[in-house]
Structure 1
Amino acid sequence: MAFKYGSDSSLSGSDALVRGIGLFALGLGVAELVSPGRFTKMFGLEGKENLVRAYGLREIGSGIGTLSINPTPALWARTAGDVLDLATVALGTRSGNQEQKRNAWLGIGAAAGFAALDAFAATMMAKRGGERPPPADYSDRSGLPKGVEASRGYYQQKPERGPAVAQHDARKDKVHSSDTATGSKRRSASDPARTETDAGQAPIPAGMSVS
């Protein structure tokens, strides 16, 4: 099964919603599969741990389908699964434990909300034809107001391109800098009284006036 989401994907709002649903389904499925007793105790469904495990496997399967190229069938399957979850959690409302009964009513509301959300996402994807469109192509756009060619600068005039030119010029600049520094040291050694400044002018000794 091919997956759409990758480093080069450009997600629209509906794509992001569908991905969130798929990731949530995977997380919920793993939790139900690993710790079914926590759910049965919370909603007053003791003794139905195997049923919760089966629901966990269903959630993992629907989550994988939701993250696939065509998530529409998996989203409709999740909608039906949410209705089944709602009916199962409703059994907890008959519990004599007030906390479990309250949790069961909250679970019913949550299941109804997820069913509506899954149905909404499935409807959006169906209107788009099911499969997600290819990633957006921005190759014809440029953030440089003068164009790409104007940004090449010095290397625009060279027949070569790439790192080799930059490395060659870097070596030339390094040799030139070394020769300049060596020449300055030699001039300073031959004439200690005269040291050139950056402006090319020797400093004036203290106490000497300039006419």
Structure 2
Amino acid sequence: MPILSNLTRPKGDPKILTTGPTVQSGAERLAKGLGWFSIGLGLTELFAARRLARGLGLYGHAPLIRAFGLREIWSGMMTLSVDKDKGLQSRVVGDGLDIAVLVSALGHGNYRRGNAAAALAMVVGITVLDVLVAKAVTAERSRPTGKPRDYRDRTGFPGGIEAVRALSR
């Protein structure tokens, strides 16, 4: 990543030599991956809706798949934003809609129900992952109930209050 960052930096800015350790937790990194996965899946659903509908035996449902693609892209963007927990929750709700449509494709009249069953198994697996990551991210971001945040040790000055006093002398 430093190479890409250095390509976009103005000429006078110092170059990035190495990056430090990440401060993101495992759940945050996994949420980021799910966000990018959601955007990729949404683009696929948006641009290949007719082919996906035909492969699953859902003829005539391409507009619904396109709508699901837009939902996936939106959920992915939310998951990559500061509101990760809201994005993950919207992914879980969207997974429920996907499951409902795929269950309807398992009927005996659908000669592609094997494809629909495989897609359903994948969506159920992703749903379990979405639920676990959403719970983990929400737990990390929540503070204990009844305990207000304590900012008494903060001054608002980068070097602390003593550095500002020394500078003013």
TM norm structure 2 = 0.68
What amino acid sits opposite 2:121 in the alignment? G
Name the counterpart of 2:165.
none
Count of aligned residue pairs for this structure pair: 125
Q: What secondary structure sits across from 2:60 in the alignment?
A: coil
State yes or no: 1:86 paired with 2:99.
yes
Instruction: Note the alpha carbon deviations across 1:28-78, whole angstroms, 9 max, x for none.
Output: 001111110111011110101100010000000000000011200110111
Unaligned runs of 5+ in 2: 6-18, 143-169
In 1, the alpha carbon distance for the partners of 2:123 and 2:93 equals: 11
Q: Distance in 2 between matches of 1:81 and 1:108?
A: 13
Kindly indicate whether residue 123 of structure 2 is the aligned counterpart of residue 116 of structure 1.
no
Change (3 A) 1:95 1:38: farther
Closer, same or farther: CA 122–49 of 1 in aligned 2, 3 Å: same
Aligned residue type for 1:111: V
* Letter of the 1:80 counterpart: V
Conservation of the 8 A alpha-carbon contact between 1:45 and 1:91: no
What is the identity, as a one-letter code, of the residue corresponding to 1:26? I
Q: CA 1:92–1:70 in structure 2 vs 1: closer, same or farther (change >3 Å)?
A: same
Residues of 2 paired with 1:68 and 1:15: CA distance?
11
2:78 aligns with 65
What is the SS of the residue equivalent to 2:82?
coil
Secondary structure of residue in 1 paired with 2:33: helix
Cα gap change, 1:41 to 1:95, in 2 (>3 Å): farther
Question: What amino acid is aligned across from residue 127 of structure 2 in structure 1?
Answer: A
The residue type equivalent to 1:90 in the other structure is V
The structural deviation recorded for 1:96 is 3.6
Provide the identity percentage: 35
Rounded to whole Å, the distance in 2 between the matches of 1:66 and 1:40 is: 26
Instruction: Give yes or no for contact 1:80–1:115 (8 Å, CA) kept in 2.
Output: no
Letter in 2 for 1:114: I
Larger Cα-atom Rg: 1
TM (norm. structure 1) is 0.55
